[in-house]
Structure 1
Amino acid sequence: MKRFLKYSFLSFILIAVWVIVIFLGTDKGWWHAPFTQENEPNKFISSVEVELQNDFVGSMAIGVFKDGKIVKESFHSNGKTVDRNTVFQVASLSKFVSAIGVMKLVQDGRLDLDVPINQYLTRWHLPKSDFDDSKVTVRRLLSHTAGLTDGLGYAGFENTEDVQTLEASLTKAKDADLGSDGRTVVGIEPGIEWRYSGGGFTLLQIIVEEVSGQSFDAYMKTEIFEPLQMTSSFYEWDERFRESVADFYNSDGSKARHRYYTAQAASALYTTLADLEKLLYLFDKDHINQKPLSTDFQKMMWQAEAETLGAPIYGLGTFLYTEIDNQNFIIGHDGKNNPSINTAFRYNPIANDGIIILTTGSNDFATRIASDWVYIHTAKVDALLFAMQQGQMLQCMAIGGMIIILGIIIIAFFRKHQKRNK
């Protein structure tokens, strides 16, 4: 019995050490090999253009900023020509821009971040649950800490006549991604856990409409896009842009159909590389332009509101990709949807550098490239690169654990055999 306990304890210690080493190695990027080592913008873009040959990407627009200025842009297409004015759907990158609109209402004193959202709602209310709905606030919706368990994920609709009303979508989204519950409901205690929620941003969409008295699309155009001269950005489909929209592709290279969304704030922003570049100018305190959101309220969006595995992950509508110095982070958002859309926006507020990538036809190209841009500039694995490597990390932990157990069993067997021979 003592021998069994001794070997069991040894196995536990070795497996624990192995798990810690693999976790730290993944987190610190000890064995991560970025697709390029080039950090100078022109050479980095040239490396991206080479990397395109290894993956199917139907359409792409990319821009790299340095010291607050756009340095290099590049475009790729398998069909219709793409340029800086080509319109892309940007999936969940929409949340980042939508959050700026929400914070404008906070700045104007029309929304309070920390009061129960029910005081703003008349058209729809959270269904009764086992938890206190009064703890659901705008701050918690923006930071995905409101306790919502919808798991959305919106797939959109192929025909405009199928698009649900906001109220119907919040009650039960017909276009919920596979595996999503689709009901916007409080399923865990608000304020205790970061749980990514598309439904939370659809709830913010209806709050904006209630408070502003405008449709979400009209409010964003008036309060955010027009001041920033983002002339090709919109949430509600506009037929005038039909010929300007990038071609949609599935990941196998086949053409895909355009999708339409109820959940505009969460998933449906249409925009261009040229327009998104103006957001980087918005964040640059030295850039002279009309700014709908003050520097103080921008920085509020970039403060840590939620953690995972003990590390900051999210602010107010903003991913905190990695810390660059005390309480400052690479910020932005990514988007991913089907048919294959992948977008990425990363900004370093200290160096005033950034990267924007918009793609169709790939599930992860934009995120991988943007995460490697972060790694090259900071020598750190950002939050989404870590998430992409989790499967491989867990597999390595499991295989190593099994090898350790098998090794201990073999050692125990041979030692027992040697003892008998003596």
Structure 2
Amino acid sequence: MHHRYVHSVVVVLVTLALVSAPVGTAAAQSDGSSGASTDRVELADRAETEAWLDETMARQLEEHRIPGAAVVVLSDGEVVLAKGYGYADLASRRPVDADETIFSVGSTGKLVTWTAVMQGVEDGRLELDRDVDDYLIDSAVTVPDTYEDPVTLRHLGTHSAGFEDTFAGMVADDPSEIRSMEAILAEHQPARVRPPGQFVAYSNYGTALAGHALAEQSDASFAELVDDRIFTPLAMDDTTYAQPLPARLESRRAVGYTYQNGAYRAHDPVIWTLPPEGGSLRTTATDMGQFALAHLNEGAYGSERILEPETVREMHRRQFTKSEAVPELNGMGYGFIEMDRNDETIVGHWGDTPRFKSLLALYPERDTGLFVVYNSPGGAPARFELLQAFTDRYYPRSDEPVVEPPDGAGERARELAGDYRSLTVSESSWERILGVMTRTYTVGATDGGYLTTSRVGAGTQTWVERRPGVYEEVGGSELLVFQFDEDGRATHLFRHAFGPATYERVPWYERLTVLQTVVGAGVVAFLSVLLLWLGGPVWRRWRGGAVPSDRERAARWLLGTVSLLWLGVLVVFLLAWVNFNAEIASPSLALRAGTVLRWVALAGTVGAVAVAGFAWRDGLWTRWARLHYSVVTALAVLFAWQLSLVGILPL
């Protein structure tokens, strides 16, 4: 987990920049071959595939500052290549071995959950279109009846249940603090913020709820069910949800790293609390390869079968279409994310923990699969680069990319400009700041008719119009698709490469530029008050001047205190954002104090508004002093308003 405190809020920008910054250190490689036959010719041939992958992975580890990674390539029901690259532990110089090294795979493990749910559907314990509350009769967990239509397992499996995003309860400081799934899910119930089946908005809670529903209809815990019905038949002997890891696996665990100040920094494992959510799943690359082989082989692995062929095909088939007008836009299978590229059908999932990044991609029509996992945040962009490079190499694009915008593109592009925020955000807690700041795309238009998109922590991308409302990345094959209302105004944005998300256009006053302007102006104003507050007596002693009355002094003390409080609240919550995982596991004293101080600051701001009115009525100070007091007070009101929009001040 992150440390709780840092020396400066600037760490926010440094941390985000690390994801995509280039590096100049080479990483070692180690062979973790699974023993697949060397005379098979797959994806050109094994030797060619290995040579290409060796070159590609060496470049990725260097460019993205990643100590180690493991890759598995599958084709025609067999492992073509399973290999480790770089180091699992830099201190001991222990290399990554695809067969031996234990990685955290994050939400890629959700595919195990959805496979288990479909096993429950096959044996009659569950139904996809039944109210999930029907499976929770004996549980303390219930789904609020906010909307007329109930939430079903189909909604949960396509991330369209309509929950707000929440991280509370997902991590802990120590394995001894982990409670039952029932207790965690009941205590940290997210709000239903939109009707089910309307939009895709990724939900960790929804996946955990589906796993709980399965367990409630069984005579075993979720982890026991999965171990008995998935891990054992697939011979995934090195896969577990156990925390801490069993001793035989702990010695093989990959260490997670971040790159800071020119050096790699090792981190302790994150403690996850909800097995179905996937975060606590630890496994090897080859074990994940065996899971992928079962899905590629329509549920069979050797003499074992975990699902019927029709069930597997149903999981891989599109279950949720995000845009009826643009059917080529990636949507959702059942638990599987559509990741089509180059007109190739690709389904799978990716996973993120603070230090580990993974990706499982299946090409069902090609009987091909790819799994990769990295032990550093640089793996986030690297995995998608590998997926695109793999697809380009073995299944290249057949059509020509769009180069020039068509007639009228400039005007249409200007109509699309604005901020589009992911629906996967919290609506009711300070966690909202994470979604607002990191899951908002700013869309701009160039004079030449191109679109640009930018996001905190990511570079700017340029897009060219394919047809109205559909844009292709310049120099790539990614699509950007807009949805319009009956008046022809763009209301939502979808990314082809990111299936489980919907981005909603926000009003002008919620744009990031407005937030940054108001907060920045507020900080300057508050600092000016503190400067005058502290420097006033010194100035009067040096240059002379009238001594303020008690009433004037009290008014200045009020605004000075309000200024100090708002600056403190801002720092506290920015640090909470930087140390997000630690604060979610166990809120710090600073964060707990900040949640109280924000209300004190708001009360003080209301008082300052009243005082400003009295100052003008009664002619306190000079005209310029009254104007300064009023401007700062107005900015304090705007400051509080903007903090409310990002969840720091829930009004």
Q: What is the TM-score of this pair, normalised by structure 2?
A: 0.49
Match for 2:114: what amino acid?
A
2:246 to 239, 245, 254: 239
**Cα contact 1:68–1:280 (8 A) shared by 2:** no
Q: In the alignment, what sits opposite 1:159? A: 174
Q: Distance in 2 between matches of 1:356 and 1:270?
A: 14
**Cα contact 1:318–1:333 (8 A) shared by 2:** yes
Match for 2:76: what amino acid?
D
**Cα contact 1:58–1:247 (8 A) shared by 2:** no
Q: Distance in 1 between matches of 2:375 and 2:132?
A: 36
**Cα contact 1:171–1:184 (8 A) shared by 2:** no
**Cα contact 1:227–1:290 (8 A) shared by 2:** yes
The 5-angstrom pairing of residues 2-401 of structure 1 reads 40-46=48-54, 47-75=56-84, 76-77=86-87, 78-79=89-90, 80-83=94-97, 84-121=99-136, 122-132=138-148, 135-152=150-167, 156-173=171-188, 183-237=189-243, 238-240=245-247, 241-252=249-260, 253-266=264-277, 267-282=279-294, 283-285=296-298, 288-309=302-323, 310=326, 311-322=329-340, 329-338=345-354, 340-363=355-378, 364=380, 365-379=382-396, 397-400=444-447
Match for 1:284: what amino acid?
N
**Cα contact 2:67–2:257 (8 A) shared by 1:** yes
Alignment length (residue pairs): 345
SS at match of 1:314: coil
Q: C-alpha displacement at 1:273, in angstroms?
A: 1.1
Q: C-alpha displacement at 1:287, in angstroms?
A: 6.0
Deviates more, 1:242-251 or 1:253-262: 242-251
SS at match of 1:45: helix
Q: C-alpha displacement at 1:322, in angstroms?
A: 0.9
**Cα contact 1:91–1:269 (8 A) shared by 2:** yes
SS at match of 1:249: strand
Deviations 1:81-104 (A, max 9, x none): 321221111101011121111111
Q: C-alpha displacement at 1:329, in angstroms?
A: 2.4
Q: Distance in 2 between matches of 1:97 and 1:251?
A: 31
Match for 1:44: what amino acid?
W
Deviations 1:35-69 (A, max 9, x none): xxx98522331222233221211331111123332
Say what the alpha-carbon RMSD is for the aligned residues. Answer: 3.0
**Cα contact 2:360–2:371 (8 A) shared by 1:** yes
Q: C-alpha displacement at 1:324, in angstroms?
A: 7.3
* Sequence identity percentage: 21
Q: What is the TM-score of this pair, normalised by structure 1?
A: 0.74
SS at match of 2:161: coil
Deviations 1:102-151 (A, max 9, x none): 1111111111111101111121333535313x521111111111112225
Q: In the alignment, what sits opposite 1:5? A: none
SS at match of 2:339: strand
Q: Distance in 2 between matches of 1:275 and 1:139?
A: 27
Task: Give 5+ residue unaligned stretches, structure 1.
Answer: 1-37, 174-182, 382-386, 405-422
Q: Aligned pair in 2 of structure 1 residues 222, 305: CA closer, same or farther (>3 Å)?
A: same
Task: Give 5+ residue unaligned stretches, structure 2.
Answer: 1-42, 399-420, 422-437, 452-651
Q: Distance in 1 between matches of 2:222 and 2:142?
A: 20
Larger radius of gyration: 2
Q: Aligned pair in 2 of structure 1 residues 374, 172: CA closer, same or farther (>3 Å)?
A: farther
Match for 1:235: what amino acid?
Y
